[in-house]
Amino acid sequence: MFSDDEKVCDVNKSSSVSVLMSNLIRGDLLPSSLIWITSRPAAAIQIPSKYINRVTAIQGFNDHQKEEYLKKKISDEHQADRIISHIRRSRSLHIMCHIPVFCWISATVLQNLLKQDDSAEIPQTLTEMYIHFLLTQINMRNQKYDERAPEKLQSNRDVIVKLAKLAFNQLMKGNVLFYEEDLIESGIDVTDASVYSGICTEIFKQESVIHQRKVYCFIHLSFQEFLAAFFVFYSHVVKNEESLKPLLNRRYQLYSQTKCLYMLLESTVNKSLDSVNGHLDLFLRFLLGISLESNQRLFKDLLTHTVNTSETIQRIRHYIKDKIKADEHLSANRCISLFLCLLEMEDQTLEIQEFVKSENKLSLAHCLTIAYMLQISEKELDEFDLKKYDTSDESIRRQILAVVNCIKAYSSGCMKEEGCCFLDPDPGFTPE
């Protein structure tokens, strides 16, 4: 909290984590120390630049490392080659695999799917992949314990809903580590063996820390965000509006009377945009993805029933597009996050084309967003004329990244066609 003037110079003085961190970064406390903080970019930007000497960006796997990892993870060489081939064919899936945990989840899901059906439809979005991963863990647990069907269904739902409630409540508080009292608050009996059976060992873990006090967490923050999103949608389906208060704020009373999904999704979009550190961005993406009827059907036994959302999805798509086009103050991160939400709702390149064609004055944030989205799009843009936009030289330079996925692109009077020597297909490429 850099606006706080409280100074701590004595290493023996007790203080809050927030105050201690800001004093360490400012150099008031332990001034000769070197600090390396791992953080998501949206949180890191809250540190004033004058206190930062160097920024390290960890990019994850490059294309060669993705394949190297998958070959090590999957012992069957033939199956590994098939899975790598499937991932290569999906541009969005291939790019997402630069994140190691997503690469691991993809390998787990695709191994299981292709083992059951060689022609199985491959998940294309982040939400689909995480749903399949959760279902894979549930199926593995059911096979291991060979439970009777009625008990199995109820047991699976109870455990997942309780974990999802924990994920949501703690996400709203900004916590990624939990204690026994947090589990109890979500209805989880820490002595219940089912919590630590096969259904949870791959998604939830515990460790002993100081004084042997147990601390709990999900395998990755993204999985906590996924389960939190599932809990919100589940609460809407079963009409448990009390649980949704943290998302609805002043609109809670109106939602509790109408049970309107659109109101819930719109409130979540706005709450995500209002977040100073972007900690609800991925949660929003998962919630919108789960709301699709196709993804509801994947959940089958975990949802008591599915709901018709086609009209709501159309409305929220338009709402998000209007936000992107109308709000000049949106940062590049926020624009990209909203575009990814559209992709999660299966809104593809056609919408990017409409957006590009409708804008003449493009901010740097819009330029970065369009460039990013064209890179991950499954389709090529027929023509991209950079000359017609009233924007800065820096914006034009950043747009060069986008032309690798365009059939033709025009800039400063010259035409760059696919295969031009200075264009690198690597999404991380930045031209000089």
Q: What percent of the chain has pLDDT over 90?
A: 24
Please, which residues bridge with residue 410 across strands?
Answer: 385, 415
Confidence of residue 168 (pLDDT cuts 50, 70, 90): very high
Q: Is the pLDDT of residue 424 over 60?
A: no
Q: Is the pLDDT of residue 191 over 80?
A: no
Lowest mean pLDDT among 47-61, 171-185, 258-272, 343-357: 343-357
Confidence of residue 309 (pLDDT cuts 50, 70, 90): very high
Q: Are strands 414-417 and 214-218 parallel, antiparallel or unpaired?
A: unpaired
Q: Is the pLDDT of residue 426 over 60?
A: no
What residues contact residue 290 under an 8 Å CB cut-off, 6+ apart?
A: 127, 131, 229, 230, 233, 296, 299
Q: Is the pLDDT of residue 350 over 70?
A: no
Q: Is the pLDDT of residue 411 over 80?
A: no
Q: Mean pLDDT across the stretch 54-67? A: 84
Secondary-structure breakdown of the chain: helix, strand, coil percentages, each rounded to the nearest 5: 60, 5, 30
**Average model confidence (pLDDT) for the chain?**
78
196-216 pLDDT, tens digit per residue, is: 555 566 677 776 655 567 788
Q: Is the pLDDT of residue 243 over 50?
A: yes
Higher-confidence residue: 354 or 180?
180
Question: In residues, how long is the chain?
Answer: 432
Q: According to the model, what pLDDT value does residue 431 have?
A: 32
Token pair for 41? 């970019």
Confidence of residue 418 (pLDDT cuts 50, 70, 90): very low
Higher-confidence residue: 82 or 432?
82
Q: How far apart, in whole angstroms, are the C-alpha atoms of residue 408 and residue 419?
A: 10
363-399 pLDDT, tens digit per residue, is: 666 677 777 777 766 666 666 666 665 555 655 565 5
What residues contact residue 348 under an 8 Å CB cut-off, 6+ apart?
A: 377, 378, 379
25-49 pLDDT, tens digit per residue, is: 888 899 999 888 887 666 677 788 8
Query: How many Cβ atoms are within 10 Å of 385's Cβ, its own excluded?
Result: 14
pTM of this structure: 0.78
Higher-confidence residue: 99 or 422?
99
Do 219 and 205 form a contact (C-beta atoms < 8 A)?
yes
Q: How far apart, in whole angstroms, are the C-alpha atoms of residue 54 and residue 4?
A: 24
CA dist 417 → 74, 383, 400, 411 (Å): 39, 10, 12, 11
What is the b/e burial string over 213-231, where b = at least 16 CB atoms within 10 angstroms of the residue's CB? eeebbbbbbbbbbbbbbbb
Do 229 and 167 form a contact (C-beta atoms < 8 A)?
no
Q: According to the model, what pLDDT value does residue 428 have?
A: 40
Q: Which of 288, 295, 292 is nearest to 310 (CA)?
A: 292
> Which H or E element spans position 411?
strand 406-411
Q: Is the pLDDT of residue 362 over 50?
A: yes
Q: Mean pLDDT across the stretch 411-420? A: 43
Query: Measured on CA atoms in the order 15, 16, 17, 18, is the torsion positive or negative?
Result: negative
Q: According to the model, what pLDDT value does residue 67 have?
A: 93
Q: Is the pLDDT of residue 117 over 80?
A: no
